Structure 1
Amino acid sequence: MKTKLTSILCLMLALSGAMPIQAQQQLDSVVVTASRLNVQAGQMGQRVTVLRGEALQRIPATSLDDLLRYLPGIEVQSRGLFGTQADITMRGSTFNQVLVLIDGVRVNDPLTGHFNGYMPVTMAEIDRIEIIHGASSAIYGTEAVGGVIHIITKAFAQSSDKGLDGQAEVQYGQHQTLTGSAGIDWQTDNLRLVAGVQHAQSDGHLPKGDSLPYDFNLTTVAAGLGLQLAPNVRLSLRSALDTRDFNARFFYTRSTYDLSREQVRRWFNQAALRWQHDERHETQLVAGYQTTTDSFLFNPAFPGNHHTTRQLDLKGWHRIEAGEAVRFTLGGQYLGKRIESNDRGNHRTGQFGLFALAHVQPSGKWDLQGGLRLEHESSFGTELVPQLSISYRVLPALRLRGFAGRSIRAADFTERYISTNLPALSPGRNLGNPDLLAERSWNVELGTDAVLGPTLSAHLTGYYRHATNLIDFVLTEGSQIPNATNIDPSGTYFFAQNIAELQTTGLEAELRYRKELSAGALEATAAYRWLDFAQDG
């Protein structure tokens, strides 16, 4: 049994003319589309944060992952500047256990969770960001363990504003650092066109005693189109290209032979059709297809690794409001993953999910929300994923909430297949395991949201997660590794296995202050997080 304690204190001050997070006076008024039930944030029974695009523009961030650092409850572990690469964790999760979505389409890459921070979206495109703190696998399937980050772009958002809006900026600094961004937003009665570009490059700083500067060249270009085909039918389309070329030395190892360089290219395409049949019935169809190419060279003296992954994300659901106090959603999803790699081989998987969600309001004070998902994938079989949440309004300015649910995470292609396609693997290297089971977790949380005055609000959440089948690379004798023909039986390897159980207990506290001023508003956020880990295995 091992225990680890972590405490973090965050403070953010901002002067803005827009509300970055739901107003204290309207604690429950923001509708969360990530719920797929279109309920208000205070009715979900989980901690939910919603940030508007106007406020995001005023936060002094150089990239999207840099912006997420300002949000309580999210930890961003960056490697490199200006969003070169970042791992995102929530509530003590691993970087593989946070689900990132753009307009409902998965960003998480099937190769490795290290790529989940490569979000192919420009700051100028963002309408809002919805963050669900905690498990949501019943809604979204695998990877939604520590939380969900849902980015909604302007092309996929409803807005009554019309006209043309644009922005651009360029900055130059030492080490030949050049950054720039630009965006346009043009809207008429039935059409909305949004486009953006973001670029950062630098020759990089040269650490003392080193011969390789940490240079980078990062570019994101995107365009989206929203079409109102009829008063009750909307079609949205979007495409984005994200390219990255950077010095990756010591990103993944501390070896003295590490002279790593990496190039990543991601092409992200998506479409959505929303059909509002009448006041009580709505159908949504969402499709996404992404191709990611990764070229990684550890050292010029050794052959490089080249991977291409393709991911098809298809989903649809129908929402019904059966009455004033009852609504439910039925839907399904298909997730197809494919890899072509000289190191990991050529593989493909198909993942199917069926889900049912319901929200009931038995009285003006109570909100009950439940979900059930049946998930199947060839690698881990069939999993049943339930969740239930309760919200109770004690006073107009005070809510209590509770949540319990199961979550799962499937092994990625690196954990399953790394080095399995090499003709001969030297001892001491990582080796994948095609027989890995899904990680499983049970999650419980209790919390409260309160308005303490016209300028002050508070949020407090305690949570517990019991995870099993956690995946890690364990030093293993070659003779104990089954079905591996490219290893030395007398050597030892870091072999991927389901080996651990982990119990995570945590507490999150937030205090928000907002004061209206003639030129906008002053907002401050103080947050405290406490974590305790107990591991078996």
Structure 2
Amino acid sequence: MVCFRKSHQLKYFRTIPLLFSICFFFFSNATCYGQVDSILVKQDTIQKIDLDSVIVSAQFAPTVQSELLRVVHVIRAEEIQLAPVSDLGALLEYVRGVDIRQRGITGAQSDISMRGGTFDQVLVLLNGINISDPQTGHHNMDIPVDITAIERIEVLQGSGARIFGPNAFAGAINIITSSPEKAVPSLSLRGGLYGTAELATNLPFRTKKVYHVLSLSGNTTDGYTDNTDFMKANAFYRMNAKIGKIKTDVQAGYILKEFGANSFYTPKFPNQFEATSTIFASAGLSDLNNQSWKTSVYWRRHYDRFELFRNDPPAWYKNHNYHLSDVAGASVEKTFSWKKHKTSLGADFRMEHIFSNVLGTTMNSPIAVAGTDSAFYTKSAQRNGFSIMAEHSYTAKKFSVSGGALLYLSHQLENDISVYPGIDLGYQIIKPLRIFATANRSLRLPNFTNLYYSSPTNIGNPLLKPEEAISIEGGLKWDHKNILAEVAGFQRYGINMIDWVRHDTATVWECKNLTAVNVSGIEAGISVLPDFFRKKFFIQRFSVNYTFLVSDKSSEGFVSQYVLDYMKHKLDIRAVHRITDNAGLTWQLGWQDRAGGYTPFSEGVYLAEAPYKPVWLADAGVFYQWKQLRFTVNATNLFNTKIIDHANVSQPGFMLMGGISWKYERRKTK
């Protein structure tokens, strides 16, 4: 167990270079390497992308992106490097259909939702392993990976239950880190306003025929207003080895976060504080040649300490909130291929457990909280789930079909068992143009906070039912040379939707199953890639994306905290410009109009409900490449717009960051 101390974050941050030095010394006895096609003389500032070689996981059997029958956005390493942001939440902000609601600065806390869903309805995976948090979706982004270590991010829009299991209700995000065989040594330093400092390094090495990569990163900031300071440290390790015809994939990570949580959960007490840590590990085996089978085991532990009063608590305040959750699971998959057919079968077992002094049912014998003198876990809860998944895909000339189902067994279901089927259809009208249609049934289990949380301002509900929905979707895809375009319309019919609601005259938020919430939407986007433009043309990349959503559930008689506060309009424009052969400019512009409203809190009282205001967001960055060094200056929120993603939690205004990064590359060793 980790004992958190409120030491000054800058003092902590100064220890990170020492840690990196120790790691470099350790790895001096191993073989460091980098793999590229040729000796690096001068890196291209704008790199090419091979679309047809990208394999994604939006179906049970991995599929080439251009042949998918679903809407999947893939953010590649080249795009991540060019983005004028430094944290994962800000990077996802400009993905079509994705709504990022942030608290704090530089990724202190980010909630991800898609297509009008809530932040608990998006499944998060790391290299294909489910790392979602059972306590609350607020912790889903406690991921021990810096964006410099990411190879690509796959964003599946719409239900993914039959592929990934429960909780892939509105979508799924799969973060793929650089494989140890392809990773290259790198180091980056960034600094900016509000005393912000960031440091990250990636250290690949080889021991005989085993490939390793270790990624370390940390950042700290004094905060943009009172009680918004933040500190984070990451360590991530991944190993690949080949044993005969079997490939092994082992990963492990650790993340530590401490942050001032000014009004994060209630505006009545702005001096809140939160500290979390996460340990994660998984090991997997797969067929080396065609990945016709794979199996994995994983474990995740998350520790959370929440303080309603960071300093000088009143006499009536007795204890902080302590939570310790464990998740363990195992899965196996097998794919059979013949002629134009693919049949995939899979099974998954997942156990979720929590010790807490707030969440769960009362235990007979309390357990001491490690690192404290007088705190005890007095409650606990556990649930198990077993999934059986099957999918069959068939392609005949221009026609494609993929159908399957999830059979889920859990005591949280009304009859302990339920089936969640789905089907995807596609037809290639002409070579670059494909029409598709999908229909899927999905579910989302209530988390432990939904079920058990109790405080003077919030009351959970242990009788909550799982959320369920039927989603249908249809659209067109154009994928030809350097132009990608998509348009899609969808409808989600949701029942038993879970939300925290408060009646107009009440002061307490209650967790309830709403009768039904249906969401309709349209998405459209076009991306123009580098080869479309002449080599010396000042525009090198350009994209426009738009999402429109509408919900047919009104909020008459009560105020909704999450479900009805969806992003109604979202417009994103992004471009990369060439300045010289070694320099460029990247910018992104967004317009967001959120439905619903919130209750402002001023001078100790709640005021009348106010609507969320539409906002324009703009970020920009310039970069210069000199040999293996890259210099960047990034500015976010250029218009200094007042942003409120969550009620009564203001976001930072204009933010300026500068940095330098180094990446070593050499010819692949034979």
TM-score computed with the length of structure 1 as normaliser? 0.84
2:27 is matched with which residue? none
1:419-477 per-position Cα deviation (integer Å, ceiling 9, x unaligned): 2xxxxx65xx32222221110000000011114x654331101000000001123458x
Task: Give 3-state SS (helix, strand or coil) of 1:36's partner.
Answer: coil
The answer to whether the Cα contact below 8 Å between 1:143 and 1:410 also exists between their aligned partners in 2 is yes
2:384 equivalent in structure 1: 350
Are positions 1:388 and 2:413 aligned together?
Answer: no
Distance 2:110 2:391 in 1: 33
Q: CA deviation at 1:114?
A: 0.9
Q: Out of 158, 165, 184, which is 2:203 matched to?
A: 184
Separation in structure 2 between the aligned mates of residue 509 and residue 15 of structure 1, nearest angstrom: 28
Name the stretch that deviates more: 434-443 or 127-136. Answer: 127-136
Instruction: State the match for 2:217 in structure 1.
Output: 198
Provide the rounded CA distance (Å) in 1 between the counterparts of 2:392 and 2:209.
Answer: 32
What residue is the counterpart of 1:41 in the other structure? 65
2:93 pairs with 1:77: no
> Is 1:258 the equivalent of 2:277?
no
Identify if the C-alpha distance between structure 1 residues 318 and 35 changes in structure 2 by more than 3 Å, giving closer, same or farther: same
Q: 1:17 aligns with which of 47, 50, 53?
A: 47
Match of residue 586 from structure 2: none
Contact 1:501–1:536 (Cα < 8 Å) also in 2: no
Q: Pick which of 47-56 and 89-98 moved more.
A: 47-56
Question: Is residue 330 of structure 2 the alignment partner of residue 314 of structure 1?
Answer: yes
Counterpart of 2:258 (choices 245, 256, 261) is 245
The structural deviation recorded for 1:372 is: 0.7
Q: Distance in 2 between matches of 1:437 and 1:378?
A: 11
For residues 264-283 of structure 1, the aligned pairs below 5 Å read 264-276=276-288, 282-283=292-293
1:218 touches 1:244 (CA, 8 Å); kept in 2? yes
Structure-2 residue corresponding to 1:108: 132
Deviation at 1:116, TM superposition (A): 1.1
Deviation at 1:415, TM superposition (A): 0.4
Q: Where does residue 355 of structure 2 map in the other structure?
A: 340
Paired residues of 2:212 and 2:240 also in contact (CA < 8 A): yes
User: What amino acid maps onto 2:122 in structure 1?
Assistant: V
1-structure distance, mates of 2:236, 2:94:
25
Residue 232 of structure 2 is aligned with which of 206, 213, 218? 218
469, 473, 491: which one aligns with 2:496: 469
Deviation at 1:15, TM superposition (A): 6.3
Deviation string, structure 1 residues 263-316 (Cα, Å, up to 9, x no partner) = 01011111111125x76x722111211110000011233221010000112111
Structure 1 counterpart of 2:465, one-letter code:
L
Map of 1:7 onto structure 2: none
Q: Deviations over 1:378-406 (max 9, x none)?
A: 22232210000001101001000000010
Runs of at least 5 residues in structure 2 that lack an aligned partner in the other structure: 1-43, 360-378, 556-670
Compared with structure 1, are the counterparts of its residues 70 and 432 closer, same or farther at alpha carbon in structure 2 (3 Å cutoff)? same
CA contact (8 A) 2:86 2:147 kept: no
**In the comparison of the two structures, how many residue pairs are matched?**
481
Separation in structure 1 between the aligned mates of residue 215 and residue 510 of structure 2, nearest angstrom: 43
TM-score (normalizing by structure 2): 0.68
Superposed CA deviations along residues 107-133 of structure 1, whole A, max 9, x for unmatched, are 210000111122222223322222211
Larger RCO (alpha carbons 8 Å, 6+ apart) = 1
Change (3 A) 1:475 1:76: closer
- Alpha-carbon separation, structure 1, partners of 2:381 and 2:287: 36
Q: Which residue of 2 aligns with 1:525?
A: 543
Partner of 1:397: 432
Amino acid in the other structure paired with 2:239: L
Which whole-Å CA distance do the structure 2 matches of 1:121 and 1:174 have between them?
A: 23
Name the stretch that deviates more: 521-530 or 164-173. Answer: 164-173
More strand by share: 1
Equivalent pair of 2:58/2:72 in contact (CA under 8 Å): no
Change beyond 3 A, Cα 1:386–1:60? same
User: 1: CA distance between counterparts of 2:96 and 2:199?
Assistant: 27
Using the alignment, how far apart are the partners of 2:441 and 2:101 within structure 1?
Answer: 26
* Structure 1 position 16, deviation (Å): 2.4
**Correspondent of 2:342 among 324, 327, 332:** 327
Distance 2:145 2:187 in 1: 16
After TM superposition, the structure 1 stretch with the greater mean CA deviation from structure 2, 134-143 or 55-64, is 55-64
**Structure 1: gaps (5+ residues):** 1-13, 207-211, 420-424, 477-490
SS of residue in 2 equivalent to 1:57: helix
State how far apart, in whole Å, the 1-side matches of 2:523 and 2:247 are.
Answer: 39
Q: Which of the numbers 68, 76, 101 marks the counterpart of 1:52?
A: 76
- Shift of residue 175 of structure 1? 3.1
Distance 1:473 1:174, change over 3 A: closer
Cross-structure match for 1:414? 449
Say yes or no: does 1:166 pair with 2:185: yes
C-alpha distance in structure 2 between counterparts of 1:352 and 1:404, whole Å: 23
Pair 1:437 & 2:465 matched: yes
With over 3 angstroms needed to count, the CA separation of the structure-2 counterparts of 1:532 and 1:174, relative to structure 1, is closer
